Every structure is written in structure tokens, then in C-alpha cells.
Structure 1
């Protein structure tokens, strides 16, 4: 078995194709998602995810970025071909847990670590 997830670092675990893997939305992974979702800030990304209407491609991008942030050398195409328990519902749970670990409840920034003030 690989490394264990550290929730204090925003990591979670998921089982893909029977293998336990660590996922984390690192700063690089978040930058990747900002580009993929065409938003111009972390607040925009959090807002996008808080809507709760994710397509299958969105799940692939989120989970792919999280897997790469967790040190897994996988492409989005690799992720699209992987299996998890409960299929689509399992992928949705993993993505939700990853977003919760990153942004806190409801996809909003953690109250203890608010985003920096926006320059005027």
C-alpha cells in the first residue's frame, strides 16, 4: 500500500482500480483547474464548484488534478478509464470529499484561512 492521506494537508484517499491513492488539490492542481474551468481566481473556482452541477468531464478533471497533486502520474485519460466502487456515485463522492478537504464545507474558503483581500 502507498502513502496515507493527511487531512491537515488537504489530502484524501480514494480507491481506483482496487489501488488506494492519495489525492490533493495542491496550488499547482488548483491552477490547472482554474485554466480548465476558465475562471480567474480561487474564489471563482470555489463558486463554480459550489453550484453542485458537475458533468462527467468535470469529475475527471477534478479527480485527475487531485491525483496528480497527490503524486500520481496519471492523465485525465487514465482517470476516465479507471473504476471505483459505486461507479459514477463513487467518483462524485471522491470529488466532493476532495473539494471539501480543499475549500471546506459548501465549497467555500475555510473560515480559519480566508482568502487574501482583493486589491482595489
Structure 2
């Protein structure tokens, strides 16, 4: 069961998504970003941002970003669990969710667009 009974607080960088039919809260916390640095073998947040700035992203990348965001939002999830989860909107919805999570971490507030 995830932390997400309420609604996402955008001021805190939270994002709402429906995964396995359940509304969940995801957030790119510092811990989530550190998790991604480790997962992608980069040394710092600048290298992590550079990795995603080209717009080319693989399925494993999407899974790692969503898993980190779920954990950052207080959801209990193991790495292997996400592969069996269904994100609302299918693969397109999952890619969009990953992009929104990255934007919440790396795009300056004034440049963000409403989803």
C-alpha cells in the first residue's frame, strides 16, 4: 500500500499517478535523486541531468525513475515490483510520468508547464 491517500502537493514537488488502479503520490526527493545517481553510475546531479537532457530514455530508465519517485513519495516498493505494475496510459503514460518526475527535479519553476 502506498502513501497517497491524499492529493499531491505541487509545492513540495509531488506528482499524482494511477498505478495498478491506485492513486499514488510520487516525489523526486534528494534521496530519490541519489538513488538515480547510483542506478545510472554518475557522480553528481549535473551528470544525472545531462544523462536525461538529450530526451533519449530506455525502458529501464523509465522504471528506475518511477521506482525512485514512488519511494520518494513514501510508497513501499522493491525494484522488481515495478515491472509488473500497470501505469495508467500504458507505456506512453509511464514515459510521461517519468518525464514529469524529471521535470519536477530539473526544470526551473517558472519554465514548468501544467500537465
Could you say whether these structures have the same fold, taking a TM-score greater than 0.5 normalized by the shorter chain as the test? yes
Kept in 2: contact 1:7–1:101 (CA 8 A): no
Please say if residues 37 and 43 of structure 2, whose CA atoms lie closer than 8 Å, have aligned partners that are also in contact: yes
CA distance in 1, matches of 2:16, 2:79: 18
TM-score by length of 1: 0.83
Gaps of 5+ in 1: 105-109, 113-120
TM-score normalised by the chain length of structure 2: 0.87
Give unpaired runs (5+ residues) of structure 2: 111-115
Q: Which residue of 2 aligns with 1:78?
A: 81
- Please say which structure displays the higher CA radius of gyration: 1
Q: Deviations over 1:10-47 (max 9, x none)?
A: 11011001100000011111111001111111111111
**Count of residue correspondences:** 107
Aligned to 1:32: 35
The aligned counterpart of 1:21 is: 24
Aligned to 2:69: 66
TM superposition outliers: structure 1 runs of 4+ over 2 Å: none
| In structure 1, distance between residues paired with 2:89 and 2:72 | 24
Alignment root-mean-square deviation, CA: 1.5
Q: Does 1:5 align with 2:21?
A: no
